[in-house]
Structure 1
Amino acid sequence: MPFVADLPPLEKERIACSISSAVKYEVPANIVLAVAEKEDGKPGQWVRNTNGTHDVGPMQFNTAYLRELERYGITANDVAAAGCYSFDLAAWRLRMHLRHDKGDIWTRAANYHSRTPQFNAIYRADLMKKAAKWADWIEARFVTLDVTKEGATPSTPAMKAEAAATAPAAPAAQPAPPRAARTAAYVPRQITFTSSNE
């Protein structure tokens, strides 16, 4: 993936796996990237929690969730390994939270960490900041589509650069708020990959 060529190997894996998992499980890519950055796990890493569970691997997947996956042969060692498998499981879990939990998108995404309100709120606040940063990163590199608008046309990085170059300068007294200040009105973006034959 050319957009990660100059990054350290673990960072390349985190970005590439997060994006491919987000596409596979139809989860906003910036949210998967934000969770991956927030969890900041490493292959083979095990972190013991105060409740006796462990957070395992690159996405710090909690062993409490593995109990329900044992019937499919999924083990903690699978989750601890390098590669995209732990990102796929994390995106699958995020998808379940986003589809079935209560609350706004950020509370549901922060349920990845904890459903306990006090821990969820802290995680949620930081997740929103990281997701805003990753949304900017994605929009600068990928074709994105606002999936909440019927008939929306894909937005390309070239279109954004062209619009920025031709747009009139904003008055100095009223600059646009940074994306982090606009996260309450966040709109999920979907990344779609197509082959050159299409």
Structure 2
Amino acid sequence: MDGLPPLSNAQIEHMRQLEPCVKMASERYRINTEIFRAIVLTEYTKPGQVVKNKNGSVDMSVAGINSIHLPELKKFHIDRDVLVNNTCVNLMVGAWILAQRMAEVNTNDPKQLWRAIGAYNSKTEKWNFIYQRLVWNNIQRLRIYYPQINYTFKDMKIASN
């Protein structure tokens, strides 16, 4: 892990409790579970927790949903109370936000993919890059607990017309 600290017991338990909803949300919005899991770990907010930001906005519950999304979520009858108190809805909204960021870019281009991941937190270049690094580090840390299937290029099947 190149000097990254292992997950604490509290982090392992936090992620274990969230895993069913993380998987369900990832599948529902067709996003990479490993990336979404790492975002949830990066946010590392407890169910029901509200964190006040310097700009006056708040991040809500496990997926750290920022209050700037509330006007748009109101169309779906999702308000602050639901985001704070319903962990699975909070994760579904987080997956939906990530899916929106991914839809804005060519995810086959690694630079664009990582910008989209960073945009889950901020579109501002400085904060976007910092967030990308945090998520990448958490992917590495999580791989110990979630074994991966490794593919080589020759194993890939390319679709032809």
TM-score between both structures, scaled by the size of structure 1? 0.63
Counterparts of 2:87 and 2:75 in 1: how far apart (Å)?
Answer: 22
3-state DSSP of counterpart to 2:59: strand
Of 97, 122, 127, the residue aligned with 1:119 is 127
1:95 matched to 2:103? The reply is no
Q: How high is the sequence identity, in percent, across the aligned residues?
A: 22
Of 3, 28, 33, the residue aligned with 2:32 is 28
Counterparts of 1:135 and 1:115 in 2: how far apart (Å)?
Answer: 27
- Asked if 2 retains the 8 angstrom alpha-carbon contact of 1:13 and 1:84, the reply is no
Runs of at least 5 residues in structure 1 that lack an aligned partner in the other structure? 1-6, 153-198
How many residues are treated as equivalent by the alignment? Answer: 142
Q: Which residue of 2 aligns with 1:150?
A: 157
Which is greater in Rg?
A: 1
Runs of 4+ with deviation above 6 angstroms: 143-146
3-state DSSP of counterpart to 1:73: coil
Look up the equivalent residue of 2:15 and give its one-letter code: E
| More relative contact order, 1 or 2 (CA 8 Å, 6+ apart) | 2
Q: Which residue of 2 aligns with 1:162?
A: none
Counterparts of 1:83 and 1:71 in 2: how far apart (Å)?
Answer: 19
Counterparts of 2:77 and 2:142 in 1: how far apart (Å)?
Answer: 33
Render the CA deviation track for 1:20-65: whole Å, top value 9, x for unaligned: 2111211001111000000011122111112221101111100101
Render the CA deviation track for 1:131-179: whole Å, top value 9, x for unaligned: 2343564445xx7989x94369xxxxxxxxxxxxxxxxxxxxxxxxxxx
Q: Which residue of 2 aligns with 1:86?
A: 90
Counterparts of 1:144 and 1:82 in 2: how far apart (Å)?
Answer: 35
User: How far did 1:104 drift?
Assistant: 2.0
- Asked if 1 retains the 8 angstrom alpha-carbon contact of 2:102 and 2:117, the reply is yes
Of 137, 141, 157, the residue aligned with 1:129 is 137
Q: Which residue of 1 aligns with 2:67?
A: 63
TM-score between both structures, scaled by the size of structure 2? 0.76
Aligned-CA RMSD value:
2.6
- Asked if 1 retains the 8 angstrom alpha-carbon contact of 2:22 and 2:33, the reply is yes
